[in-house]
């Protein structure tokens, strides 16, 4: 290519060639950068010089003081490149660029001007001085903002010089070239689309400068754009609403939640600070937020019962003043922190022990401010007591009686009501109310014993206290105040009150009279104990008084009867054997037991050797054969003694006639009569006793028959007898041996209750008849007739009893 250029240059050169003898100028045009030895021009030919001339003329180039780029080849007559020529180095930007020199010949001296014009070739690319450009552009830069870029430099000239620029990429910027007055091109980069640091913080661009050469050369430079942040982004909360829950009573400092807002700006514009924007003091006193971390803490006390929810408004702010807000909804979780509250609305201090079932004792309301299970309350009574608690309606309870109350068992109840909720752990409260059970007269007095028996020695002083009955009443106070009352009854037809009296307060039983065992040995009565309740309750007890005997009666001889007038003598035939029963001394002692245990002794006798007296039975028997020499008239004195302490005794005289015939006896016994006188009394008693026995027997017979007939007639009507009791005392003495020839004699006592103050039984009264007939001619013949109103059914019918 260069050669082709060269050929062209040569043509051009030829065109400018003027051949003057002394002023001939040859102009060559060569491109720069020809290699060493390259042909510049055939100067010899162009000057029309002969090669020889060149040699002879010692042709040489006159360069002056400029560098030798070109040499003359004399042999060939051509100019050759000696040094590579860089147009840019030689001429800089000056155009045209030419080398001027002369060819000088000697012999003759000739010179020719040669001008070698150096033409530019595109051997230099545009270059930038710096290899990169740095820009810091705020993202807030507006469209159209201009940024001047460094220009490129191309040392080539002309068409090979710098021609244009291009920028890549062109997302944000476009290039704009300004033609300067001095022909320089001003390069500007214009912001076409706003920057967003948040999208792209660093932008790299490449500015390319191209020249117009062929081939085109280019130079590039890196443009680094750092997008500077602007506070174009507000903080944004990740959630617009946060939910948190916190148990009530949580400690101060508890973390509720952490809110977080992001600000994509950089630096302080992206630095978010948090604050609570709620302006209620309540919220501000309770919560705080960490300015930097967004942790929401509790600083006060939260109580579910006060507030169940809180809304905390939170603001996030960057340092550029942009804000966002969110809210934290805080749910307070209930904790079982409230005990149930028991409110006794009404209580009864006491109820009577006979209160009906389901009697309401107390009413209370119970509530628990906690919620759900923490506020569900159950109440119960803690002890086993006869009360129950009923849930009458929601939150209201009543305590009612459940079973029978008994003040005597428990007079007071401490009713403890415990209410507990169903929280975990459960909380409870309790309240105790004291309930008195008031007394009702529901207990009768109870005697300490089911029956009483007491002894009193006869002949007591009236007014003597015998003993004490005692009854207790389980009730209280007036209902338990026992008074004792002697129940009306009669003893032997006489009101019992004439025997004993009962002290109403103390229950002491006093004897009203002096008792006589021989009249009455025991008696019953009932004592009633009555309390002071209204109505009163009572009970009664049977009391038996036993009278104890004293040896206050001497034995009484019933037989042989001692009378003054009549004469009684026992006959003993002379033929009587040894052991013949002469007679029997019959004596009684109205006392009893030892006091009535009699013994018989012979005190005096006409002939002691003939008779003996049975110690126990009083039988007088012969102890030897009777002889003719024995006196007809025998007299024995027998002592009868009881066994009491001290013992009492009686004596009796017994006349015995030892004879075979009655006249014989009679003559002998005339003097006996007066002895018989004093026996009258005894005989009287004996007869009386016999009469009574007979009378009783017949009476019984009559009564039995009457009753039988009566029942037979009126079988439907019950017979009720109002008769007084007739005590009957069995025989105290009888013929134990049963061998005697004498009729049996019985001793009876009849005691009447009319006047027991006398110690002796009393026989016969006014209007009754006592007859005693003593017939000396017949032994043991007695009659007694007695009538007694108290014994007989019909007081007017006397009864006759005969014993033979
Ligand atoms: C009831 O409580 C009172 C006082 O605490 C006590 O004195 C009394 O003995 C209690 N009564 C019963 C029946 O427990
Ligand atoms: C005495 O008590 C008995 C029961 O112990 C009773 O049957 C009777 O009626 C009572 N008598 C009187 C007079 O109260």
What's the pLDDT score for residue 428?
93
From the CA of 435, the nearest ligand is: 1
CA 355 / ligand 2 centre spacing (Å):
28
Residue 477 is classified by DSSP as: G
Please tell me the number of the ligand nearest to residue 536's CA: 2
Show the ligand 1 pocket: residues with CB < 6 angstroms: 412, 414, 434
149 forms beta bridges with 187
The ligand that comes nearest to the alpha carbon of residue 528 is: 2
**Distance, CA 349 to ligand 1 centroid (Å)?**
14
CA-nearest residue, atom 3 of ligand 1: 414
Render the burial of 276-288: b for 16+ CB within 10 Å, e for the rest. bbbeeeebeebbb
The enclosing H or E element of 494 equals strand 494-495
Low-confidence ranges of the chain (pLDDT < 70): 1-23, 182-183, 563-567, 664-680, 716-804
504 alpha carbon – ligand 2 mean position (Å): 18
Fold of the domain spanning 446-548? Immunoglobulin-like (2.60.40)
Q: Evaluate whether 136 touches 49 at the Cβ level (below 8 Å).
A: no
Determine the distance separating the centroid of ligand 1 and the alpha carbon of 387, expressed in angstroms. 16
| Cα(342) to centroid(ligand 1), Å | 20
**Ligand 2 nearest-atom number relative to CA 538:** 14
Distance in angstroms (rounded) separating the CA atoms of residues 788 and 770: 11
Q: Which of 434, 435, 436, 437 is the best mutation target for the ligand 1 pocket, counting ligand atoms within 8 Å of the beta carbon and taking the most?
A: 434
Phi, psi of 688 (to 5 degrees): -60, -45
Q: How far apart are CA 169 and CA 176, in angstroms?
A: 14
Q: What's the gap in Å between 434 CA and the centre of ligand 1? A: 8
Residues across the chain: 804
Atom of ligand 1 nearest to the CA of 413: 13
Among all bound ligands, the one having the nearest atom to the CA of 486 is 2
Closest residue by Cα to atom 1, ligand 2, is: 540
Gap from CA of 768 to ligand 2 centroid (Å): 41
Per-residue tokens: 780: 């043991």
**Ligand with minimal distance to 450 CA:** 2
413: tokens are 């109840």
717 Cα–ligand 2 center, Å: 25
Output the CA 415–ligand 1 centroid distance in Å.
10
Q: Give yes or no for residue 487 CB within 6 A of ligand 2.
A: yes
- Predicted local confidence at residue 429, as pLDDT: 94
Separation CA 297–CA 37 (nearest Å): 93
CATH number 2.60.40.60 is the correct assignment for the domain at 2-119:
yes
Question: What distance in angstroms lies between residue 677's CA and the mean position of ligand 2's atoms?
Answer: 57
CA 542 to ligand 2 centroid distance, Å = 9
2.40.50.140, 2.30.31.10, 2.60.40.60, 1.20.1530.20: CATH of 127-230: 2.60.40.60
* Measured distance CA(190)–CA(180) in Å, rounded: 17
The residue nearest atom 5 of ligand 1, judged by CA position, is: 414
Q: Is the CB of residue 522 less than 8 Å from the CB of residue 617?
A: no
Angle at 760 between CA 755 and CA 766, to 5 degrees: 60
Query: Which atom of ligand 2 lies nearest, measured to the CA of 539?
Result: 2
Q: How far is CA 244 from the centre of its chain?
A: 35
Neighbours of 404 (CB within 10 A): 12
Q: Which ligand is nearest to the CA of 444?
A: 2
537 burial type by CB count under 10 A (0-12 exposed, 13-18 middle, 19+ buried): middle
| Cα–Cα distance list, 448 to 469, 479, 539, 628 (Å) | 8, 18, 11, 76
Candidate of 409, 411, 414, 417 to mutate for ligand 1, largest count of ligand atoms within 8 Å of Cβ? 414
- State in Å: Cα 433 to ligand 1 middle: 10
Q: Supply the pLDDT for residue 801.
A: 35
CB 375 within 8 A of CB 369: yes
**Top mutation candidate among 471, 496, 527, 540 for ligand 2, by most atoms within 8 Å of CB:** 540
Residue nearest ligand 2's atom 12 by CA? 540
Distance (Å) of CA 338 to CA 302, 330, 371: 14, 21, 10
Give me ligand 2 centre to Cα 540, in Å. 6
Q: How far is the CA of 688 from the centre of ligand 2 (A)?
A: 41
Q: Give the ligand with the smallest distance to the CA of 385.
A: 1
Q: Which of 382, 385, 412 to mutate to test the pocket of ligand 1 (most atoms within 8 A of CB)?
A: 412
Ligand 1 atom 14: the closest Cα is on which residue? Answer: 414
Q: Which atom of ligand 1 is nearest to the CA of 434?
A: 1
413 C-alpha to ligand 1 centroid (Å):
7
**Residue ID of nearest Cα to ligand 2 atom 10:** 540
Q: Give the nearest ligand 1 atom to 411 CA.
A: 13
Structure token pair of residue 655 = 């006349």
pLDDT for res 286? 92
In terms of DSSP H, where are the helices of 428-476? none
Between the CA of 519 and the centroid of ligand 2 the distance, in Å, is 29
Cα–Cα dist 377/398, whole Å:
14
Q: 692-720 b/e with 16+ CB inside 10 Å = b?
A: bbbbbeeeeeeeeeeeeeeeeeeeeeeee
Closest ligand relative to 410 C-alpha: 1
Query: Which atom in ligand 1 lies closest to the alpha carbon of residue 414?
Result: 1
* Closest residue by CA, ligand 2 atom 8: 540
What is residue 667's predicted lDDT score, i.e. its pLDDT?
66
Closest protein CA for atom 3 of ligand 2: 540
The alpha-helical segments, DSSP class H, found in 111-197 are: none
pLDDT of 679: 57
Instruction: Give the distance (Å) from ligand 2 centre to CA of residue 523.
Output: 18
Every domain of the chain and the residues it spans = 2-119, 127-230, 233-333, 341-437, 446-548, 689-793
CA distance 287 to 276: 8
pLDDT of residue 745: 37
Q: Span 233-333: which CATH code? A: 2.60.40.60
Q: Is 540 in the pocket of ligand 2 (CB under 6 A)?
A: yes
Nearest CA to ligand 1 atom 8: 414
CATH superfamily of this structure's domain 341-437: Cadherins (2.60.40.60)
CA of 539 relative to ligand 2 center, distance in Å: 7
Q: Please give the number of the atom of ligand 2 that sits closest to the Cα of 528.
A: 14
Which ligand is nearest the CA of 539, by number?
2
Write down the pLDDT at residue 94: 81
Residue 139 pLDDT: 87
Alpha helices in 206-280 (DSSP H): none
Expressed in angstroms and rounded, the spacing between residue 144 Cα and the centre of ligand 2 is 134
Tell me which ligand sits closest to the C-alpha of residue 436: 1
């Amino acid at each position: 290519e260069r050669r082709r250029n060269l050929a062209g240059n040569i043509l051009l050169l030829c065109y400018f060639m003027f051949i003057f003898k002394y002023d001939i100028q040859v102009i060559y045009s060569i491109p720069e950068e020809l290699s060493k030895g390259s042909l510049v021009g055939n100067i010899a030919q162009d000057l029309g010089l002969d090669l020889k001339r060149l040699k002879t003329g010692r042709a040489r180039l006159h360069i002056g003081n400029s560098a030798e780029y070109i040499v003359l080849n004399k042999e060939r007559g051509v100019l050759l490149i000696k040094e590579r020529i860089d147009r840019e180095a030689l001429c800089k930007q000056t155009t045209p660029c030419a080398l001027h020199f002369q060819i000088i010949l000697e012999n003759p001296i000739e010179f020719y001007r040669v001008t070698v014009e150096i033409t530019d070739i595109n051997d230099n690319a545009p270059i930038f001085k710096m290899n990169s450009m740095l820009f810091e552009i705020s993202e807030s830069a507006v469209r159209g903002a201009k940024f001047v870029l460094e220009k490129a430099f191309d040392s080539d000239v002309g068409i090979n010089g710098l021609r244009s620029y291009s920028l890549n990429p062109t997302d944000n910027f476009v290039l704009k070239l300004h033609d300067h007055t001095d022909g320089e091109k001003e390069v500007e980069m214009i912001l076409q689309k706003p920057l967003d640091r948040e999208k792209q913080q660093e932008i790299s661009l490449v500015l390319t400068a191209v020249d117009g050469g062929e081939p085109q050369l280019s130079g590039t430079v890196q443009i680094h754009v750092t997008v500077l942040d602007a506070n174009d982004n507000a903080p944004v909360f990740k959630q617009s609403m946060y939910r948190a829950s916190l148990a009530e009573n949580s400690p101060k400092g508890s973390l509720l939640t952490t809110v977080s807002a992001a600000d994509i700006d950089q630096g302080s514009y992206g630095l978010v600070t948090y604050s609570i924007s709620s302006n209620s003091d309540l919220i501000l006193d309770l919560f705080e937020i960490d300015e930097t971390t967004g942790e929401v803490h509790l600083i006060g006390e939260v109580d579910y019962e006060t507030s169940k929810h809180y809304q905390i408004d939170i603001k996030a702010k960057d340092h550029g003043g942009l804000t966002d807000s969110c809210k934290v909804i805080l749910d307070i979780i209930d904790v079982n922190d409230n005990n149930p509250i028991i409110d006794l609305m009404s209580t009864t201090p006491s109820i009577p022990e006979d209160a009906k079932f389901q009697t309401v004792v107390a009413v209370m309301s119970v509530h628990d401010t906690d919620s759900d299970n923490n506020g569900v309350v159950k109440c119960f009574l803690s002890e086993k007591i006869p009360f129950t608690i009923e849930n009458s309606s929601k939150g209201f309870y009543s305590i009612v009686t459940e079973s029978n109350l008994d003040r005597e068992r428990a007079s007071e109840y401490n009713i403890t009501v415990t209410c507990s909720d169903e929280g975990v752990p459960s909380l409870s409260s309790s309240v105790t109310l004291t309930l008195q059970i008031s007394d009702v007269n529901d207990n009768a007095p109870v005697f300490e014993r089911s029956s009483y028996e007491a002894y009193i020695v006869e002949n007591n002083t009236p007014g003597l206290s015998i003993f004490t009955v005692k009854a207790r009443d389980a009730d209280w106070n007036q209902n338990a105040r026992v008074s004792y009352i002697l129940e009306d009854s009669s003893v032997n037809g006489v009101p019992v009150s004439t025997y004993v009296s009962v002290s109403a307060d103390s229950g002491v039983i006093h004897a009203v009279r002096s008792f006589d065992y021989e009249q009455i040995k025991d008696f019953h009565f009932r004592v009633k104990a009555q309390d002071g309740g209204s109505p009163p309750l009572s009970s009664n007890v049977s009391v038996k008084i036993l009278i104890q005997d004293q040896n206050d009666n001497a034995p009484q001889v019933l037989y042989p009867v001692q009378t003054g007038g009549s004469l009684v003598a026992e006959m003993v035939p002379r033929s009587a054997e040894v052991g013949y029963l002469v007679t029997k001394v019959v004596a009684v002692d109205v006392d009893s037991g030892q006091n009535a245990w009699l013994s018989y002794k012979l005190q005096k006798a006409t002939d002691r050797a003939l008779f003996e007296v049975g110690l126990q039975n009083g039988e007088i028997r012969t102890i030897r054969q009777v002889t003719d020499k024995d006196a007809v008239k025998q007299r024995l004195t027998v002592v009868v003694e009881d066994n009491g302490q001290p013992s009492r005794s009686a004596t009796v005289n017994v006349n015995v006639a030892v004879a075979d015939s009655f006249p014989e006896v009679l003559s002998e016994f005339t003097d006996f009569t007066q002895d018989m006188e004093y026996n009258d009394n005894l005989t009287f008693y004996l007869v009386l006793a016999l009469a009574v026995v007979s009378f009783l027997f017949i009476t019984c017979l009559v009564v039995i028959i009457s009753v039988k007939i009566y029942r037979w007639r009126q079988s439907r009507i019950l017979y009720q007898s109002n008769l007084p009791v007739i005590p009957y005392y069995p025989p105290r003495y009888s013929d134990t041996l049963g061998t005697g020839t004498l009729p049996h004699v019985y001793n009876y006592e009849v005691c009447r209750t009319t006047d027991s103050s006398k110690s002796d039984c009393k026989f016969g009264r006014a209007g009754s008849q006592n007859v005693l007939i003593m017939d000396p001619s017949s032994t043991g013949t007695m009659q007694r007739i007695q009538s007694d109103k108290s014994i007989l059914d019909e007081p007017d019918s006397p009864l006759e009893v005969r014993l033979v």
